[in-house]
Amino acid sequence: MTRRKRRAGVTLWAAGLVAAHLAASAAMAVEWRHHANARFGYEIEVPADFLIASSADNGDGDTFESADKTAELRVWGTSVAEGDFRAEADDRRNTAAFVDGWQISYEKTTDRWTSYSGTKDGRVIYVRGIALCDGEAAFFQLVYPQAQLAVYDAVVSHLVDTLKPADGCEP
């Protein structure tokens, strides 16, 4: 390899590193606001610039939209069928894959939480669910452009970290 090709490769690598750092810095600069659901007893922090687009009439949850309208965040609670959180998580993932057409590339489920993600038509879906008390569960679903994956990685991490049962609930 010539010196010029090596230098060009290093320059491209450095440019990629700088771009990744800037994207991560932008995500870390996101401001957050607390959001709680009294009906199901869960809470989460949502990006402050995501505005409520709709709310379920029955109090199950809310749908938020990014300021630029390219991303959608849904948060909701549900009663778990037959009290089996794993079965509920599997059913939701299978619906996303086989009914809604998402290509699921990551999935992990325990007795207390589930996460899965995938892609479809240049978009990414990330879903997280947690078991709550009394046979209920809380979920969030974030859908965003695949081109903004680096920016939304930090957002997803924060959403995962902050989705939790309200005080007093230990599933």
> How far is CA 101 from its chain centroid?
18
Say if residue 84 is in the same domain as residue 107.
yes
Higher pLDDT: 3 or 79? It is: 79
pLDDT of res. 1: 55
**Would you say residue 14 has pLDDT above 90?**
no
Say if residue 91 is in the same domain as residue 138.
yes
State how far the Cα of 69 lies from the Cα of 155, in Å rounded to an integer: 16
Weakest-pLDDT range from 13-17, 90-94, 118-122: 13-17
State how far the Cα of 47 lies from the Cα of 8, in Å rounded to an integer: 38
Say if residue 110 is in the same domain as residue 152.
yes
At 122, is the secondary structure helix, strand, or coil? coil
State how far the Cα of 150 lies from the Cα of 148, in Å rounded to an integer: 6
* Residue 149 forms part of a structural domain: yes
Percent composition of the chain: helix, strand, coil (DSSP 3-state, to 5): 35, 40, 25
10 Å Cβ neighbour count for 47? 21
**Would you say residue 13 has pLDDT above 90?**
no
pLDDT of res. 19: 42
Say if residue 25 is in the same domain as residue 38.
no
| Average pLDDT, rounded, for the chain | 87
pLDDT tens figures, 47-77 = 999 999 999 999 899 999 999 999 999 999 9
Say if residue 80 is in the same domain as residue 150.
yes
Work out how many domains the chain is built from and give that number.
Answer: 2
Model confidence, pTM? 0.82
E-only strand ranges, 21-165: 32-37, 42-47, 51-55, 61-65, 72-79, 103-109, 113-120, 123-131, 136-145, 164-165
Which residue range is the domain that position 158 belongs to?
Answer: 32-165
**Mean pLDDT calculated for residue range 103-114:** 96
